[in-house]
Amino acid sequence: MPQTLGDRLDEAMRVRKHDTDTAARVLGVSTSEVLLWMHDMQVPEPSQYGPLLDYLVVEERHLRGLVLRSQMRRMQWRIRT
At 8-57, the pLDDT tens digits run: 999 999 999 999 999 999 999 999 999 999 999 999 999 999 999 999 99
Instruction: Kindly tell me if the per-residue pLDDT of 1 is higher than 60.
Output: no
Find all residues with CB under 8 Å of 50, minimum gap 6, and list them: none
Find all residues with CB under 8 Å of 43, minimum gap 6, and list them: 5, 37, 67, 70, 71
- % of the chain surpassing 70 pLDDT: 99
- What pTM value is reported for the model? 0.89
Instruction: Kindly tell me if the per-residue pLDDT of 81 is higher than 80.
Output: no
Can you list the domains of the chain with their CATH numbers? 5-80 (1.10.260.40)
